[in-house]
Chains A and B, each alone.
Chain A
Amino acid sequence: MIDFKVIGTPILLRNIKKIDPESIEAYIETGGYEALKKALKKSPDELLEEVKKSELRGRGGAGFPTGIKFEIAKNQKETPKFVVVNAEEGEPGTFKDRIILENDPHLVIEGAILAAYIIGANYGYIAIRPDYTLAIKRLEKAIQDAYKYGFLGDNILGSNFSFHLKIKRGAGAYICGEETALLEMIEGKRGEPRKKPPFPPQKGLYGKPTVVNNVETLANLPFIIYYGSEEFKKYGVEGSYGTKLFCMSGDVSWKGIIEIPFGVKLSEIISLAGGVKGGKLKAVILGGVSGSLVKYDEVDIEVDYHSLGRIQAGPGCGTIIVLNDKRDIVDVCENIMRFFKDESCGKCFPCRLGTEASYRIIKKIKEKKANLHDLFNLERICKTMKNASFCGLGQTAPNIILQSLQKFKDEWLSHIS
């Protein structure tokens, strides 16, 4: 259903549409669970070093170094520890985790087991949105099979390492993609973020050390452990190693997932998706609606953390929504803020009230009923949200609006009477 492309040798999509996702044997045949076998012969410390050396960064959006997260959790004395796979994919324009989960569930399971072995966790959850029904079905089968083959359960493959994995369905709230809100959800509470610190690797699920990792992040682990960090670092560029899944949507000729090493230019990625549809390029929403707005004259930039950092952007979760020049930036921003005001959890004032207030102002501007004063208020509210919201949702909700106010100022002003 979802189309995909691979540029170069794939790490993440190597099995997609090639093997039967419901067959563990097929996964094993392609070298699946070899990384686990290899890992169990080594110490968690050695493996941690390998992950740290790989410089793998979280693929959920924040880009936090995975090895460091593991290290913090590993160093905690409290037990039991938990691995939580964050499969609450919800950023508009994002469907990359879905493709892995539906087509190669064992890759994620193996990744989770490796993470657990490294930090010393005996329990893990795959926290997934409930409408990913196909993914849930296949994961369930895959977990069962992994238990049968002794990859999960007590004394995995005869070692003294035990790890249990279970699916936890959520009930559809964007905020539950935030790691602490996700933990609250698993604990059966309202999915409202917790204060940080303490961070989940220190005090996570039920107050115990927990690493929460995005699906795509964990899908990298079998490769890193099996082939080593040196091999992994052959992909990508300095500071941004490995490949990344990009979700193409909006005004592009081809829509789907592209796996590509870091460092390829944004403009090239758009070309790989058949180029802009319906007009000339206006801008790209990169990393989701909470991500960044890259203007047409900025797209000739390498997609990696360092390069994008120069224009205050980042790859985020790998979402690319292309806008052609017939798109009204105010209309786009209205849509984005409507999303955030619907998805704000309501825990903190700046986000609960800020998203609603700015949505109303943007709507007023779109309807050409606003004056310059409203525009100033919008900017002021957005900045406050960014600075003073409790969690990442509120802090990033105004990103696109604030950037568009700079990059497309005239367009905003043209709506002002």
Chain B
Amino acid sequence: MKKLVDIKINGKSYLMPEGITILEACKRAGIHIPTLCYLEGITEGGHCGICVVEVKGARNLQRACITKIKEGMEIYTDTPLVRKARKTIYELTLANHKSTCPACQKEEPCEIRKIAKNIGLSEVEVELLFKEHEKDRSIINRDQTKCIECRRCVNTCEKIQGINTLIVDGKGFNSRISPPYNLPLKNTPCVFCGQCVVRCPTGALTEKDDTEKVLDALQDPNKYVVVSFAPAVRASIGELFGLPPGTLVIGKLVAALRKLGFDKVFDVNYGADLTIVEEANELIERIKFRKTLPMFTSCCPAWVKFVEEFYPEMIPNLSTCKSPQAMLGAVIKNFLPELENIPKDKIVHVTIMPCTAKKYEILRPDIMGDIDYVLTVRELAKMIKIAGIDLLSLEDEEEDIPFGEYSGAAAIFGVTGGVMEAALRTAVEWLTGETFSNLDFVPVRGMKNIRIAEIDIKDLKLKVAVAHTLKAAQEVLEKIKNKELDIQFLEVMACPGGCIGGGGQPIPTTEEILRKRAEALYTLDKNKEIRKSHENPFIKFLYEKFLGNYGSEKAHKLLHAKYSHKPNWDDIFNKSYEEICKEVLKY
């Protein structure tokens, strides 16, 4: 128990634990202090100065986010001096930001607009200070005219992913948040995880907007537009329609997609089941034939790109299985024509993903053409709203078969540890040749960044690890490299919490929200009658009708991928200055 100290906030006395910040103390006292640059656990804060308060005896205003309380401290959060300072700082901030609010891609609630309301700012009187920049458009768009340099993205890229793509370039007013040399993101090792996008308070970082193209396809009478949505989407989309975090939305989502005009509504969970049977099969083969171990999961495109870039020597460890999205894409484009009697070239396949990196994944050579567009959860919600569909009042509908049926194992794919658990459910049965009723592999669950578990069933001993965030993954890979960790199977998801915390998810994602989204998926799994991927009848159907055996030649051709080394920072910095200049965005 920490020592309590006596402090006063706005004249009222409080006992608060020593060592907490003024911000935290005020929060506990029910007093809201606006913040901008501060992000718990990621940025220390101290940059923006929006949270300044008066502390009796201090020469200057103090930043609530970084100032710790002390015995006898007297804090005033709403004096004329505080209000004036906040307003002036915020005016300068907005002058530094090109406001194009009505046409900005940033969804409501836009954080910087919210803060403006919060501190009562109604006018920017100072001269505009933003600089015009060329936009960097790729999977993630950067618009520096909107960037206010709060550095949340810089900290995210460094501390969560350890990639350091976005850095502070230069000093003072002439500094810029960008990749080194202002290279376009697509020419950097950026893995497009989108964690910077979900933390950007402005419209400076946004995902590539594909809604227009999807709407065009839906209007085109010559197209047969199929949609599939990812495991984690159902656990979060409700938030964008006012439902509490952790509300599962499936039936209404299916209905809304049909209302939008999609001809078939499938489920990426089906792809997840397919991934598991192929991946479990691969794991068993690797173990049996003493091939490269540990095997790494390959569902997360950001993680795959990361290995290709920074650990090319470990590419053989990556499972050759394509991701659920890619497998489903291949299956739909190749087998739906026969099943539904539609020419292949008429089919447009759209996926709804909690992820920005999935937009990158569909451009990979062995996936190209199988999926036409990827929309994030945010983009889909926007489309539903634009179409005037009242999601909450819709009657539940069911996904189409055969690619809409899934097991409980697939349902948990969207949460860290989920792929591991799903794979174990199948692999353990196949390895031991027995059927088990207790399917919960609890040690691989949870939110700890790195979890190591040993499976000891009958003669079978398996040691596995689960990591989320690429920073944690890096730690595991280094341990494997240095032979400090001996495992057979590793699951990595790049985003905190897995896909439930993905870069395409509703904003904000907090730890509390993550926990609720995870709970929703585990509940879905629990309530499913079929909880193992290999028991999904439509998976069996697919192999019987089209693919043959697990890991067959045909399955390999369609469902497995090849990897290759991709440029990392070493490769980029091996170029000459002049070579780099040719790639650089001007300004």
Contact = CB atoms under 8 A, between A and B. Distances in A.
Contacts of B52: 387-388
A389 B49 contact: yes
A350 B49 contact: yes
B93 A388 contact: no
A347 B47 contact: yes
Nearest to B148: A349
Contacts of A388: 49, 52, 60-61, 85, 89
A341 B88 contact: no
Interface stretch (A48-56, A244-252, A377-385): A377-385
B111 to A, nearest CB: 15
A349 B172 contact: no
Interface string B47-66: 11110100000001101001
Contacts of B175: 346, 352
B7 to A, nearest CB: 16
B171 interface: yes
B115 to A, nearest CB: 12
A265 interface: no
Contacts of A195: 44, 46, 63, 66
A346 B173 contact: yes
Interface string B151-187: 0000000000000000010111101000000000000
> From DSSP, what is the main secondary structure of chain A's interface residues?
helix
A345 B46 contact: no
Interface stretch (B124-132, B250-258, B415-423): B124-132
A384 B90 CA distance: 11
Nearest to B60: A387
Given A173-B171, A356-B173, A357-B92, A348 B46 contact: yes
B95 interface: yes
A344 interface: yes
Interface residues of A, number: 34
A390 interface: yes
Given A377-B126, A387-B60, A390-B63, A350 B89 contact: yes
Contacts of B50: 349
Given A190-B168, A346-B172, A388-B52, A381 B126 contact: yes
Interface string A340-379: 0111111111101111110011000000000001000100
A373 B52 CA distance: 26
A167 to B, nearest CB: 24
Nearest to B62: A388
A317 B493 CA distance: 55
A69 B127 CA distance: 43
Nearest to A341: B173
Contact of B172 (A345, A373, A387, A390): A345
B353 to A, nearest CB: 35
A352 B66 contact: no
A324 interface: no
B126 A346 contact: no
A395 interface: yes
A390 B84 contact: no
Interface in A204-218: none
Contacts of A387: 52, 60-61, 81, 85
A351 to B, nearest CB: 8
Contacts of A342: 172
User: Which interface residue of A345, A357, A390 has the most chain B CB atoms within 10 A?
Assistant: A357
B207 interface: no
A352 B171 CA distance: 9
A231 to B, nearest CB: 34
B173 A353 contact: yes
A343 B171 CA distance: 8
B228 interface: no
Interface string A271-306: 000000000000000000000000000000000000
B88 A348 contact: no
Contacts of A349: 47-50, 89, 92-93, 148
Interface string B78-118: 00010011001100110110000000000000000000000
A41 B84 CA distance: 57
A356 B95 CA distance: 11
A44 B171 CA distance: 42
A410 to B, nearest CB: 24
Given A344-B172, A346-B171, A387-B60, A354 B92 contact: yes
Contacts of B96: 353
Contact of B149 (A197, A352, A354, A373): A352
Nearest to B59: A395
Contacts of B149: 346, 352
Given A347-B47, A387-B81, A357 B129 contact: yes
Nearest to B68: A197
B172 A348 contact: no
B92 A353 contact: yes
A163 to B, nearest CB: 33
Contacts of A373: 125
A370 to B, nearest CB: 11
Contacts of A395: 60
A58 B63 CA distance: 26
Nearest to B93: A349
A173 B175 CA distance: 14
B112 to A, nearest CB: 12
A202 to B, nearest CB: 13
A416 B553 CA distance: 83
A347 B168 CA distance: 10
Interface in A139-183: 173
Nearest to B176: A346
A164 B326 CA distance: 61
B47 A355 contact: no
A386 to B, nearest CB: 8
Nearest to B96: A353
A356 B48 CA distance: 15
Contacts of A345: 171-172
B365 to A, nearest CB: 39
User: Which interface residue of A344, A349, A356, A386 has the most chain B CB atoms within 10 A?
Assistant: A349
Contacts of A356: 129, 173
Interface in A179-204: 190, 195, 197
B172 A343 contact: yes
B20 to A, nearest CB: 15
A381 B49 contact: no
Nearest to B150: A349
Contacts of A346: 149, 168, 170-173, 175
A381 B96 CA distance: 14
Contacts of B88: 350, 380-381, 383-384
A357 B126 contact: yes
Nearest to A381: B88
A390 B127 contact: no
A84 to B, nearest CB: 22
A300 B129 CA distance: 42
B88 to A, nearest CB: 4
User: Which interface residue of A353, A377, A395 has the most chain B CB atoms within 10 A?
Assistant: A353
Contacts of B168: 190, 346
Contacts of B48: 348-349
B127 A353 contact: no
26 contacts: A342-B172, A345-B172, A346-B168, A346-B170, A347-B46, A349-B93, A350-B49, A350-B88, A350-B92, A352-B173, A352-B175, A353-B95, A355-B172, A357-B95, A357-B127, A377-B125, A380-B84, A380-B88, A381-B88, A381-B92, A383-B84, A383-B88, A384-B89, A387-B61, A388-B49, A390-B46
Given A349-B49, A357-B95, 15 more contacts: A197-B68, A344-B171, A346-B172, A349-B148, A353-B129, A354-B92, A357-B129, A384-B89, A387-B60, A387-B61, A388-B52, A388-B89, A389-B60, A390-B47, A390-B63
Interface of B: 44, 46-50, 52, 60-61, 63, 66, 68, 81, 84-85, 88-89, 92-93, 95-96, 125-127, 129, 148-149, 168, 170-173, 175
Please provide the 4 A-B residue pairs with the shortest distance between their CB atoms, ordered closest to farther. A353-B92, A384-B88, A344-B172, A346-B172
